[in-house]
Structure 1
Amino acid sequence: MVANASIFGYAEGIAKGGAPRARVAAYKVCWDIGCATADIMKGFDTAIHDGVDVISVSLGGTPGPYLQDGTSISSFHAMSKGIIVVCSAGNDGPTAGSVTNVSPWVITVAASTLDREFPSYISFNNQHIKGQSLSSTVLPEKYYPMINAADAALSNDTAVDAGICLLGTLDPKKVQGKIVVCLRGSNARVQKGEAVLQSGGIGMVLANDEMSGDEIIADPHILPATHITYSDGLKLYSYLNSTKSPLGYISIPKTKINTKPSPTMAAFSSQGPNTVSFEVLKPDITAPGVNVLAAYTKTIGPIPDKFDTRRVPYIIMSGTSMSCPHISGIAALIKAVHPSWSPSRIKSAIMTSAQILDNTGSLIKDSVLNISTPYNYGSGHVAPNRAMNPGLVYDLSITDYLSYLCSFGYNSTYLKAFLGETYSCPKVPMKMEDLNYPSISVPHLVKSNITVTRTLTNVGRPSTYKVAVMEPKDVSVTVKPTVLKFSKKGQKQKYTVTFETTKKGLEGPRFGRIVWSDGKHIVGTPIAAEFLQP
C-alpha cells in the first residue's frame, strides 16, 4: 500500500493491489521480438509447478482452434490443477468477432471505464469543450492561434498524413507558436504531440475520428494537450475552417471523481461473438480498463520513446491488459474466502453477480453511448462484493470440458495435448450449447425450437429461487421449472431453456437475460441468440 500515489499530481490517493495480501510471482514470456508460444507455455508450466492459485495473462493473439493455441492448452493444464486463469479479451474493438482467449475454461475480460476523469477544456469562439488529458505542462491563461494540422503539411507531404500529425510532416513555419488540431489515426496518440512539439507548436488538440466516437483517453502528453470526442471535433474543425484567425486555449487538467455515466465500454475492447465456438459467449466479464493508475518503471518515460526524458513511478494506462488483473485480484480474494472452490465456481460467481446497469441506473453503454450488449461486456461489469456470496453457481468438471472438446471434433489423440493422458470420448456427443456455462449462446435460431440445459449448485444457505426472463427481441423464451428449491448446500438443480421464433427472414444477434433470485442473491445469466438463414 502506497500513500500519495499519482502521476504529475493527478489521480492522487492510496494505491494498493486488488488482493493486497497476495504474493505475486512474475514470469517473463515476452521479449523485444514478441511473445513466442513456447515461452508462454513454459511460463504456464513454471507457474503450475510453483503452485500458484491464479494466473493472470495480459496477452493474446488471433483466435484459432484450441489445439493450435498454446495459451488454450496451457490454461487447460492449469485449470485441471485447480488454478484460475484470467485472460485479456484483446484491444481490437469495436470490430465484431475480435475477442480472443475464448477457451471456456478461462475468464475472458473486456475493458470499461472508471467513474474518474481528467477533464481539460479547449475553449474557442465562446465554446468550452471538455476533453481528457494528463499533460505535465500547461499554457499561460490566454488565447493562442490555432491551426488544423492538415493545413500545415510540408510541401512534400500529404494533408492526410499531416492531419494525423505523423512525425516529420508538419511545416514549422505554419505551426510555430500555435495550438495544432490533430486527427486520431494510425500513429500513437502521444506521438502526435511529439510531432507538434518538434515543429514548434505549443499545444495540441487530439480529435477523434468517426470510428473512435466518444471514447477519449487521458494520456501523459509532453505538451499542453487535450483529447476530444468525434462530435466535438466536428465543431472545432468547423470553426477552424470558417475563421481566418482562429484562437483557442487549453485549460489545466483536473482530477474529477464520481463522473456519470460510468461504467461505459471502451471502444478498443474486443467484442464477440466467439469465432471459434459460438456456443460459448465471450467475453465473460468487464472490469476497469480505461485510465487506470498503475505502477511504472523509472527506466523509461511515461511515453516509451527516447524523446520523453520524464520519469514517474506511476502511470495512467488503458487496455484489457489493465482490466484483466482487476479480475485476477478478485479471483484471488474469492479463492481466499472459498479455498475449496473450483476455478469454474469462482468464474461463475464473478459472472453471475455482475451488474448491467451504470451509476445512473441505465443499461451500460458503449463508447458512443449506445446500449451495450453481452458481446461487449459478457455478463456485465464486475461486482466484487456480490461475487463473494453468489448464492448459486454453474459448476464444471474436467470431464465436462473434455466432453465439450469431443463435441468440437477432437479425438482421444488430440485430447492428450490437453489432459496429458488419453481420454475416450462418449459415444453420444454432448450438444456444445449444453456446456454448463454461466451464459447461454444459441446459434442458428430458426423456426424450430432449441432447448438448452443448465445445472445450478447451491453454495449458500437453503433457499428458494424464482426466475425472471428478459426475452430477446423476436424470441420466445420458456424456462422450466420456474422455481428451484434448495434444501442444503451443495445441492444441484437442473433447468431447461427453450427458444422459439416464428418470424422468418431475421438476421443478426438478439440478447436477453435470465435471473434467478431468492430475494437476497441475484444470479444473472446473459443470453445471445443468433439468427442465421436455414
Structure 2
Amino acid sequence: MDKTPDAVPCNRKLIGAKYFNKGVIAYLKSQNLIDELSLIVNSTRDYVGHETHTLLTAGGSYVSGVSVFGSGIGTAKGGSPKARVAAYKVCWPFHNSGGCYDIDVVDGFDQAIHDGVDVLSLSIGSPPAEYYDDTIAIASFLAIKKGIPVVCSAGNSGPSMASASNIPPWILTGSSLSRPLARRKLYPLITGAQVKATTASADDVMLCKPKTLDHSKVNGKILVCLTGDSSRIDKGMQVVLAGAVGMILCNDRFSGFKIIADLHVLPASHINYNDGQAVFSNPMGYLIPPSSKVNTKPSPTMAAFSSRGPNMVSPEIIKPDVTASGVNIIAAFSGAVSPTGEPFDNRTVPYMTMSGTSMSCPHVSGIVGLLKALHPEWSPAAIKSAIMTSAIISDNTMNLILDGGSPMFAPATPFIYGSGHSAIISDNTMNLILDGGSPMFAPATPFIYGSGHIHPTGAIDPGLVYDLSPNDYLEFFCANGYKEKNIRIFADENFKCPVSCSIFNFNYPSIGVQNLTGSVTLKRRLKNVGRPGVYRVRVRQPEGVKVSVKPRVLKFWKIGEEKRFELTMTGAMAEGQIGYGTLIWTDGKHFVRSPIVVSLGLF
C-alpha cells in the first residue's frame, strides 16, 4: 500500500479516471443550470454510487470483513480481482438531464479504445433501436474491431417481454439472478389505518405519506406501510420521524413478489404481497440483528425486473445472452453520497447492496477479463461463445432455473376453501380455485436467461467455440437487408455485401428461428480451442419441430481447426407458438450447449 502526496492510501487498483461532458454541458446551458452544477460535471467523482459499485464488482481486490450494517459479512472480491481498473464517466443522472448523452458515450469509448483497455463494461442502456441508430451499438463495434470485448446490461424492464436492451450480436448482454439492535423484544405492529392523522386520507396513510401519521400513536411501534406513490426510503423517513422503532414495507398486488434490499434509515423489512397478508393477520413483531442465509433452495432464480427477449430488432439473435447475479449485490460504494441518496441522510458507507442488471453486467465483465488473461489469443466472439456455451440452466435442486417474474398458484384444497365458494370449487375458467397463498414460479426460458447462468470454470476450457470476425458482423447487416449507407457507419469504404448471404448462416452460439412454416437449414462452424477430440451431437427438439444435424460427428486433430455442420429444422408452428430446444456437442468431457428457440408470429 503506497501513500499519495496527500497521504491518501493507494493500492494502484485504479489507474485511470476521466470524464466526458460535452453533451451534458450543452444540456445544462440550455436549462441555465451550468453554474449550479459546474463542479459536479467537471469531475470524475461518483456522486451516485452506481459507478463505484459496478467498477469494483468487475475488478475489485480481495477484502475481508465486508458487510452492510452487519448483513452479508464475509470476504468480497470482484470478478477479476487482480485486474487494474479505469473509470470513464459518461453519464450524469441529475436534474432530469437524461443521464447519458450520445457524444459523451462515444467520447468515452474512443478514449478507452485509445488507452488500450482489455475489456469494456457498460451498466447503461437505452430502448432497442436499429443498430445504425444505436450509439452504444456503433461505439461498441469500434471496440470489437480492435479486439476489445464489450459487456452490457440487459435492462430492468422485466417481466415484460421484448424489453431487453443492448441487443447487438457483438455485445455480451447479461440479465439478473436473485440472491446493532435492541435486545429481542416484542413490539406492537400497526398499520396506517390505526394511526391516521386527522386531516389524512385513508389511502395516503397506508402509503405512509408525509403529514399522514399521528406521531402519538406511532411512537415505539413497528409500522406497516404499503409500497407505491413515493420511494421506499422516503416512507422509512416518515416512519422514523413519527417515532416508530421499525417498518415493514408490504408489496401491493401490482408489485407482487419483487423485493429490494434497500439501506433504510431505521430497522425495516420489505416483504411480498402474500407475506403482507400474513402480517396483517398477526400484528406483532421482533427486532433482531441481521443475519445472512446461505444455501437457500431453489437458487438461483431469475429476477422479476430482469429485461427479457425476444430481440425486437433481430429475432434470430436470442437476447439476453447469459445471466449472472444481480440482486442485493454487496460492493464498494462512493463516500460522496449517502446510502439512500436522500438529502436528509448524512451517513456514508464503504459498501452497499444494489440490485439490477447493472450489477449482473460487471460479474460477466470480470469473467471476460479472466478469460482474456488466460487466452489472450481468443477473439471477443470466442470469449463470448465460451461463456455462453458453458452456461448452466439448472439450479441447486437440479431443476430448471425458475422465473421470479411469473408467479403461479397451486389449486386450493378443502382445508382452504372448505366446501367451496357457495359450494362451488371451480373458478370462471372451469379450473379448480387457486390458492393465492401458495406462489410457485414457472421455469425460465432462453428469452429470460439466454444461454443460462455463467459458469466460469466451464468457460475456461469450453472445448469448442463459435468464432466470428468483424467481417462476419458486416455480412450480418447485409443479411438483415441494411442499406449501404447504414452499413458504412460500421464498415470501411471498400466493404461490399456478398452476392448472397443468410441470417441463418451467422455463426452465433445460440440458435433462433423466427416464423418457421416449413423447413429451414442453418449453417454453423466450430473451432477447437482444446485438445484433439471427437464430438458427437445431442439434440432436444423444440415441441412440434423436427431437427436433423449433418454430420453428427466432428473430429478435431489440433487447436484452431474448424469444422462445419448443418442444422435443418422442419415443422409448422402455430401463430404465437414458441418452442425451446437444445443442441449439444460433447466429447464426454466438454458439453458445448446452444439453446434453440423456434417461433411464429411474435412480431
TM-score (norm 1): 0.89
Match of 2:143 in 1: 78
Distance 1:257 1:289 in 2: 16
Distance 1:527 1:139 in 2: 54
Match of 1:379 in 2: 451
Deviation (angstroms), 1:30: 0.9
Tell me, yes or no, if the aligned pair for 1:415 and 1:422 is still in contact at 8 Å. Answer: no
Q: How many residues align?
A: 503
1:231-310 equivalence runs, <5 A: 231-237=274-280, 239=281, 246-310=283-347
Distance 1:481 1:322 in 2: 41
1:317-336 equivalence runs, <5 A: 317-336=354-373
Match of 2:413 in 1: none
- What residue identity is the alignment partner of 2:63? V
Greater CA drift, 209-218 or 8-17 = 209-218
Spell out structure 1 runs of 4+ moving beyond 6 A. Answer: none
Classify 1:38/1:161 alpha carbon distance in 2 versus 1 (closer, same or farther; 3 Å).
farther
- What residue identity is the alignment partner of 1:182? C
1:42-121 equivalence runs, <5 A: 42-114=107-179
Q: Secondary structure at the match of 1:110?
A: strand
Deviation (angstroms), 1:198: 2.5
- What residue identity is the alignment partner of 2:491? L
Tell me, yes or no, if the aligned pair for 1:88 and 1:323 is still in contact at 8 Å. Answer: yes
Match of 1:224 in 2: 267
Tell me, yes or no, if the aligned pair for 2:183 and 2:288 is still in contact at 8 Å. Answer: no
Deviation (angstroms), 1:482: 2.0
Match of 1:350 in 2: 387
Q: Secondary structure at the match of 2:402?
A: coil
Classify 1:138/1:509 alpha carbon distance in 2 versus 1 (closer, same or farther; 3 Å).
farther
Distance 2:571 2:252 in 1: 39
Tell me, yes or no, if the aligned pair for 1:356 and 1:380 is still in contact at 8 Å. Answer: yes
Match of 1:197 in 2: 240
Q: Deviations over 1:416-463 (max 9, x none)?
A: 2223545211222x22233111101111123x1122221111111111
Classify 1:151/1:438 alpha carbon distance in 2 versus 1 (closer, same or farther; 3 Å).
farther
1:406-425 equivalence runs, <5 A: 406-425=478-497
Classify 1:279/1:168 alpha carbon distance in 2 versus 1 (closer, same or farther; 3 Å).
farther
- What residue identity is the alignment partner of 1:483? V
Classify 1:455/1:261 alpha carbon distance in 2 versus 1 (closer, same or farther; 3 Å).
same
Greater CA drift, 251-260 or 287-296 = 251-260
- What residue identity is the alignment partner of 1:406? C
Q: Deviations over 1:203-222 (max 9, x none)?
A: 11122334544343322221
Deviation (angstroms), 1:152: 5.0
Classify 1:35/1:478 alpha carbon distance in 2 versus 1 (closer, same or farther; 3 Å).
same
Greater CA drift, 488-497 or 34-43 = 488-497
Distance 2:233 2:102 in 1: 30
- What residue identity is the alignment partner of 2:316? E
Classify 1:44/1:309 alpha carbon distance in 2 versus 1 (closer, same or farther; 3 Å).
same
Q: CA RMSD in A?
A: 2.1
1:528 aligned to 2:597? yes
- What residue identity is the alignment partner of 1:394? Y
Match of 1:432 in 2: 503
Tell me, yes or no, if the aligned pair for 2:516 and 2:572 is still in contact at 8 Å. Answer: no
Q: Deviations over 1:233-281 (max 9, x none)?
A: 22223x17xxxxx333343320222222211111111111111111110
- What residue identity is the alignment partner of 2:389? T
Tell me, yes or no, if the aligned pair for 1:215 and 1:229 is still in contact at 8 Å. Answer: yes
- What residue identity is the alignment partner of 1:465? Y
Classify 1:526/1:170 alpha carbon distance in 2 versus 1 (closer, same or farther; 3 Å).
farther
Q: Deviations over 1:454-505 (max 9, x none)?
A: 11111111111111212222332222222222122212222222222346x4
Tell me, yes or no, if the aligned pair for 2:70 and 2:290 is still in contact at 8 Å. Answer: no
Q: Secondary structure at the match of 1:328?
A: helix
Classify 1:214/1:25 alpha carbon distance in 2 versus 1 (closer, same or farther; 3 Å).
same
Tell me, yes or no, if the aligned pair for 2:195 and 2:217 is still in contact at 8 Å. Answer: yes
Match of 1:120 in 2: none
Q: 2:466 aligns with which of 371, 376, 394?
A: 394
Match of 2:68 in 1: 7
Distance 1:186 1:425 in 2: 53
TM-score (norm 2): 0.79
Q: Deviations over 1:78-98 (max 9, x none)?
A: 000000000001111111111
Q: Secondary structure at the match of 1:206?
A: strand
1:114-193 equivalence runs, <5 A: 114=179, 138-149=181-192, 152=195, 154=197, 158-193=201-236
Greater CA drift, 137-146 or 46-55 = 137-146
Distance 1:45 1:81 in 2: 11
Distance 1:10 1:322 in 2: 18
Match of 1:124 in 2: none
Tell me, yes or no, if the aligned pair for 1:167 and 1:194 is still in contact at 8 Å. Answer: no
Match of 2:576 in 1: 507
Match of 2:401 in 1: 364
1:22 aligned to 2:63? no
Deviation (angstroms), 1:113: 2.7
Q: Deviations over 1:154-206 (max 9, x none)?
A: 56555444434344444435534332222233533333212222233321112
Tell me, yes or no, if the aligned pair for 1:212 and 1:267 is still in contact at 8 Å. Answer: no
Distance 2:321 2:554 in 1: 25
Distance 1:152 1:63 in 2: 46
Structure 2's unaligned 5+ residue stretches are 1-61, 408-440
- What residue identity is the alignment partner of 1:357? S
Q: Deviations over 1:31-68 (max 9, x none)?
A: 13211111011100000000111000010111111111
Tell me, yes or no, if the aligned pair for 2:67 and 2:73 is still in contact at 8 Å. Answer: yes
- What residue identity is the alignment partner of 1:30? C
- What residue identity is the alignment partner of 1:501? G
Q: Secondary structure at the match of 2:88?
A: coil
Q: Secondary structure at the match of 1:226?
A: strand
Structure 1's unaligned 5+ residue stretches are 115-136, 241-245
Q: Deviations over 1:488-530 (max 9, x none)?
A: 2212222222222346x44232212111111110111011111
- What residue identity is the alignment partner of 2:568? T
Q: Secondary structure at the match of 2:515?
A: coil
Classify 1:501/1:175 alpha carbon distance in 2 versus 1 (closer, same or farther; 3 Å).
farther
- What residue identity is the alignment partner of 1:353? S
Tell me, yes or no, if the aligned pair for 1:84 and 1:106 is still in contact at 8 Å. Answer: yes
Tell me, yes or no, if the aligned pair for 2:185 and 2:287 is still in contact at 8 Å. Answer: no
Deviation (angstroms), 1:11: 1.8
- Quick one: percent identity of the two aligned structures? 50
Greater CA drift, 276-285 or 432-441 = 432-441
- What residue identity is the alignment partner of 1:302? P
Distance 1:155 1:98 in 2: 44
The structure with the largest alpha-carbon Rg is 2
Match of 1:312 in 2: 349
Classify 1:393/1:219 alpha carbon distance in 2 versus 1 (closer, same or farther; 3 Å).
same
Greater CA drift, 34-43 or 294-303 = 294-303
Classify 1:143/1:507 alpha carbon distance in 2 versus 1 (closer, same or farther; 3 Å).
same
Tell me, yes or no, if the aligned pair for 1:413 and 1:422 is still in contact at 8 Å. Answer: no
Distance 2:209 2:535 in 1: 59
Distance 1:160 1:324 in 2: 39
Distance 1:66 1:171 in 2: 55
Deviation (angstroms), 1:375: 1.0
Deviation (angstroms), 1:230: 2.4
Q: Secondary structure at the match of 2:91?
A: coil
Distance 2:349 2:527 in 1: 48
